[in-house]
Amino acid sequence: MSDTATPTPPAATPAAKETKAQKAERLKLAKNPWEAWEEVRQFAREGRAAVLPEWAEFYFKWWGVYTQGDGAGVTGGKDGVGKATEYFMMRIGLPNGLLTSHQLRVIGDLTKKHARNLADITTRQNIQLHWLTIEALPEIVESLTAIGLSPKGACGDVLRNVTGCPLAGLDGHELIDASPLAVEVSRGLSANPEFYNLPRKFKVTVSGCPLWCSYPEINCVALTAIRREVNGLEEIGYTLRVGGGLSTEPHIAVRIPAFIPQDKAYAVVEAVLRIFKEQTELRENRTRARIKYLFMRHGWTAETMLEAIEAKLGCKLDPSPVDQDVVPDDVYRDHVGITPQQQPGLSAVGASVLRGRLSGDQLIQLADLAEQYGDGHLRATIMQNIVLVNVPNAKTRDLIHALGEIDLRVESSPFWRGAIACTGTEFCKLAIAETKAFSKWLVGEMEERLPGFDQQIKLHVTGCTNSCGQSWIADIGLEGKKIKKDGKMVDAFYFCVGGAVGKYAAIARQIGYRAAAEDCPEAIERLLRAYLADRWPGEDLRAYFARTDDASLRAQLAGTALPAVERDPPPVGAGRFAPGE
């Protein structure tokens, strides 16, 4: 492209006051951002002041880019959104979490050069960079393109990064290696100009993992492998779920009663995507534009969705009753630890990355370790962790030691292993509370207070009501807020308890308890000690929460009986423009 190209003029704003939805639809009709990258090159030449508001606030998202907050979060801004700085965040898409050491080393170099040596693994198997300048964006995108990666489609009203099992093709227990399908869906439908203008974000997961480790319950579309027998012959295909999602109104995906043959799987995903794109009523309100609202507010059912899919396909699908599902037991689903591969003599080694945060140096060191101990391949996970694969069994213990030297644990406490944290006020303009440093501190506190705790626990921290930290599916979900303590406004958290996926799949309950950030460890200790004292023989944490009423859980957290307090509503004016995964 010519370096002298002139940016397209901004779309004319009508005189009448627009809603957020009307503005978004107008901007999308005016421009496909994927076809306007030359404008970003021009901004880079001219500096931050040249960036047009519609790019800063909207179009950049199609390139995986958001403006970065000033550290104060929403409380430092107005109209429900915090102040933006001169810097940007970029999300790098990794279909199925697949990475090579060469790719990771390039990302590490970019992190050191442009992102103040700071990167985050996200809950959709992406890698996220911060502190980027407008001048650096073209160079970063060119460097990523050269190694077969891109930020295109990692954000915006598009099909987002397609997730899958990080042990796809390796785990001897999987029903099928679904990673080729995940990559095919990503290459064919993500960053596809035909689908640049969806009503809202669209999240897909494809997995053959028997643990359902990619959380099909909370995706817009989820294909999960299933086995059936027809005329005495075994066939592996997929079940289909549609309409899962968290945010301010969580919804467990609806199981569609159809068997999806492998050769129709891609077409089924595309069919649901087209159905979503055509729903004009979803374009009227940005906060209710996800596909889940077809079920939540527009009267759709599993049966009507199936009819619409079959109409798109032009054929009928065989039935697959929900009771045929083999729901995973209440086990760890994060693939942390040593997992023997189906390839003889090899193992995968999963390391827990506390709150997903890594330095550029650590990324480069991981690339080196993947080459030294394996064959140079790695996988990111939706629990913000990293897996090194194809490691000879004889080398696994040495690799575990080497990972520990760079502060990555293969053998860790349940608190370290189960911690998730969103971006928080450090960078996000919608966050109310800081999350990353708090999560690290909280884990350390819990390890000291309950060193022998024997249960897996998902301890998720999210900075606001948008649940980017997936507080709705955590055993203990902490949702950021502010309260007054000792005459000062301080970070605090509202507690949601009993969320889960798998055997106990449920949205966490709002139990009416909140605490200042500094008081959270003591409250959680009281709750978990009550569980240890009261549990039945063999009863796990999720079963205990499921049978214990809200008032009792609230009293355990507080140390005394308390009336319930209401959860805060989303900030007025914020809409749903959070950089959530």
CATH number at residue 237: 3.30.413.10
- Does 403 share its domain with 489? no
Last residue in a domain, options 271, 294, 324: 324
In 3D, which of 458, 471, 336, 358 has the Cα closest to residue 407? 358
In 3D, which of 67, 70, 72, 68 has the Cα closest to residue 491? 72
User: Tell me, what's the pLDDT at 5?
Assistant: 46
Last residue in a domain, options 98, 117, 146: 146
In-domain check, residue 258 = yes
In-domain check, residue 386 = yes
Asked if residue 575 has pLDDT above 80, the reply is no
Distance of CA 278 to the CA centre of its chain: 25
- Does 30 share its domain with 139? yes
CATH number at residue 68: 3.90.480.20
In-domain check, residue 308 = yes
- Does 552 share its domain with 449? yes
Last residue in a domain, options 272, 289, 324: 324
- Does 316 share its domain with 352? no
- Does 316 share its domain with 387? no
- Does 344 share its domain with 450? no
User: Tell me, what's the pLDDT at 329?
Assistant: 84
- Does 312 share its domain with 347? no
Rounded distance, CA 277 to CA 274, Å? 5
Taken in order 39, 87, 421, 494, the sign of the CA dihedral is negative
User: Tell me, what's the pLDDT at 569?
Assistant: 79
- Does 427 share its domain with 533? yes
Rounded distance, CA 391 to CA 340, Å? 9
What mean pLDDT do residues 182-186 have? 98
Query: pLDDT, tens digit, for every residue of 66-106?
Result: 999 999 999 888 888 999 999 999 999 999 999 999 999 99
How many structural domains comprise the chain?
4
- Does 233 share its domain with 291? yes
Task: Determine how many CB atoms are found less than 10 A away from the CB of residue 486.
Answer: 6
Asked if residue 2 has pLDDT above 50, the reply is no
In-domain check, residue 390 = yes
CATH number at residue 394: 3.30.70.3340
- Please list the active-site residues: 91, 200-201, 463, 468-469
In-domain check, residue 188 = no
Query: pLDDT, tens digit, for every residue of 269-307?
Result: 999 999 999 999 999 999 999 999 999 999 999 999 999
Of 478 and 570, more confident: 478
Asked if residue 1 has pLDDT above 50, the reply is no
In 3D, which of 379, 478, 466, 504 has the Cα closest to residue 420? 478
Domain span at residue 440?
416-558
Query: pLDDT, tens digit, for every residue of 38-66?
Result: 999 999 999 999 999 999 999 999 999 99
- Does 422 share its domain with 547? yes
- This prediction's pTM: 0.94
In-domain check, residue 358 = yes
Asked if residue 9 has pLDDT above 80, the reply is no
In-domain check, residue 580 = no
User: Tell me, what's the pLDDT at 76?
Assistant: 85
User: Tell me, what's the pLDDT at 266?
Assistant: 98
Query: pLDDT, tens digit, for every residue of 478-532?
Result: 999 999 999 999 999 999 999 999 988 999 999 999 999 999 999 999 999 999 9
- Contact yes or no for 467/492 (Cβ under 8 A): no
User: Tell me, what's the pLDDT at 576?
Assistant: 44
- Does 492 share its domain with 407? no
What mean pLDDT do residues 338-362 have? 97
- Beta strands 233-242 and 221-230, pairing class: antiparallel
DSSP state of 210: T
Task: Determine how many CB atoms are found less than 10 A away from the CB of residue 36.
Answer: 16
- Contact yes or no for 255/322 (Cβ under 8 A): yes
User: Tell me, what's the pLDDT at 574?
Assistant: 44
Query: pLDDT, tens digit, for every residue of 441-480?
Result: 999 999 999 999 999 999 999 999 999 999 999 999 999 9
- Does 430 share its domain with 361? no
